[in-house]
Structure formats: structure tokens, C-alpha cells
Amino acid sequence: MQTATPSEAGLRARLQSIEGLELRVGEPLAGYNTFRIGGPAEMLGRVNTLDALSRILAEVADAGEGADPPRVQVLGLGSNVLIPDEGLGGLVLRLAGEFERVEFDGDRVWAGAGVPLPQLARRTAAQGRLGLEALAGFPSTVGGAVVMNAGCYGTEIKDLLVCTTVVEPGGRVAELTVDDLEPGYRSTVLQGRATIVADATFRTERGDAVAALARIRELNRKRKQTLPWGFPNVGSIFKNPPGDYAGRLIDECGLKGREEGGARISRRHANVIVNFDGASAEDVLALMRAARDAVGERFGVELEPEVVLTGALRARWTA
């Protein structure tokens, strides 16, 4: 890591004084994502309260007056991200503490943004509050699922979401309805913005808890049959194009099993790349480009990443 400038050191000192924030410098990120890839974070913070999160974004905004402020990113389960080999600058946050709470109120369920979505689905099903079962196999936190409008087996977050609390750049706390998010296929207006989801409220329906839990087990069994297991990966690499499947198109191009360094396009599912032998982010990106170019040339279809390309990887993808 480079030596911090006086302004960066000042920001770091102010952040370290915030109650509810635990800050580490130069923490390797490979252990914080399911690809097991990525260099260190300039600053990695575990934030435990909404007040602390608001103060963090206020401090970052103040530090950025007259210059570009350090980028703030949230890293949940790390199940849908590719992190550069050189790591990430700025501040990477993980939501814990009160962001891991779940509360029930009639047919409504409130969940902090740090709650794993599969855990929330199982807890609601066990309470006989139905609706989230199809999302029980989606490896995301509640916050990440809201940002991308996660979906699985015909159910999307937008179908159940009532509202979400967010913290905007500068620290302002606001409440957004599902319509405010303008949700689409694997997308909302929050993507690419510095706004951070703090919690979400979902509507559920009363039903049979035993049957709901059985459905979760069956859907998870089905998921395990179709996706590769045994090597680090992040599930689907590309969004499905309208009316088709990215995996089918990549398979038709004969790319199953193609390798680059320690990364491989899965032999079981062509829309999954696995880290089979110490892959780098550049290895994965090379395979992504190969799939994109082959599908574009053969079918005239432009594949869009579903995996979130962080840091400098976004520019390298389009270069």
C-alpha cells in the first residue's frame, strides 16, 4: 500500500474515532468473496449502526470538498463481485451489528442490509410467513439483493419489497419505495450510485411453514444439480439476454472447459467461471472477454456482466 497523504491520514483518523466502526488498513480481500480473488483494501471497515454509517458518509463527503472523495463500497457476502488483483482504493464497508437484525410485524418483515438473504428466507418460512422461499438459494445479503433486484425461480425482490432505508452520499438517511428504485431485470437505480442500502421491509403471506421449508429444500437441491460445486465461483457471470440464456450461447460457441491461468469456464454450466487453481482477476476477465466476443461474433448478442466488476476492472472490461 502507498503511504497515505496528510489529507488521507486525517480522514482515516476521523473515521477511526467513529463509534460503531472498526477499521483495518491494507486488509486482503480474497478471503471476503466467494471467488477467493482480490488484493487488499486501502481501508476495510466493519460498521455496526445506522448512525455510524451516516457519519462515515458525512466524513467522506467533507474530505472530498474540492477534490474527488475516496470511493465507498459495500461488500456483503462477496458472492457476486470480482475484485482486482491490485485491490481496492478508498473505503470498503461490511455491514454488521444492527444491520444483521430481523424483526416481524404482522405480514411485514424488516431486515437489516447485512442479513444473508437465504437466512432471511428460511427464518420467514419457519414462521409461516411466505413469499421469499424461491430466493433461499440466492447467495446475497439483503442489501445487495435490493440493489440488483435479485431474482430466482420466478420471484424477484421487487415482488415482495415494500420500502428500503438508504444512506445517501453526505450521510442523509432516506426511505425509498419499490417504485422509487425503478426495478428491472437484475437492476435498480441504485446500481452505480454511492447510496447504501441500510434495511428493507418485505410483505409476506401467512401459510404452511412445513411446506415452505420443504419447498426451500427442493429448490436448493435443484440449484445444486445445475451449478458447479467444489471450486470457488460467483454463480452466473453474465445476465441472460432477452428470450435466451447466456449459458446456452456460450456453450454453443464451444467454450465450456476453456481455461485462462487458474480460471475455467465450467464444464457443467457455461455461464459460470470457476477458480480451480489460484486464478487472478485478470484470468477471469480474459475468459469473460472471450465469451463476450465469441457470442457477439456468432449470434450478434452482446453479453452484459451480472458479476459486479469493481475498481479498475470496469474500465478494463470496456477497453
Which residues are within 8 A (CB) of 300 and not within 5 positions of it... i.e. 6 or more apart?
none
Q: How many other C-beta atoms can be found within 10 angstroms of the C-beta atom of residue 85?
A: 17
Cα angle for residues 136, 230, 75 (degrees, 5° grid):
55
User: Of the residues 140, 236, 266, 280, which is catalytic?
Assistant: 236
C-alpha dist (Å) from residue 57 to 14, 43, 63, 100, 168: 12, 14, 10, 20, 8
Q: How far is CA 216 from the centre of its chain?
A: 21
Instruction: Please give the Cα distance from 40 to 265 (Å, whole number).
Output: 26
Distance CA 57, CA 149 (A): 24
Residue reference for cell 420443504: 214
Residues with Cβ within 8 Å of residue 167, at least 6 apart in sequence: 50, 53, 54, 57, 173, 174, 195, 196, 198
- Angstrom distance (rounded) from CA 318 to CA 293: 12
Q: What share of the chain is helix, strand, coil (3-state, %, to 5)?
A: 35, 25, 40
Is 259 annotated in the active site?
no
Rounded to a whole number, what is the largest CA-CA distance in the chain? 59
Phi and psi, residue 121, nearest 5°: -60, -40
Which strand (E) or helix (H) includes residue 209? helix 209-226
**206 is a catalytic site residue:** no
Of the residues 186, 203, 215, 248, only one is catalytic, namely 186
**306 is a catalytic site residue:** yes
Q: Which residues are catalytic?
A: 186, 236, 306
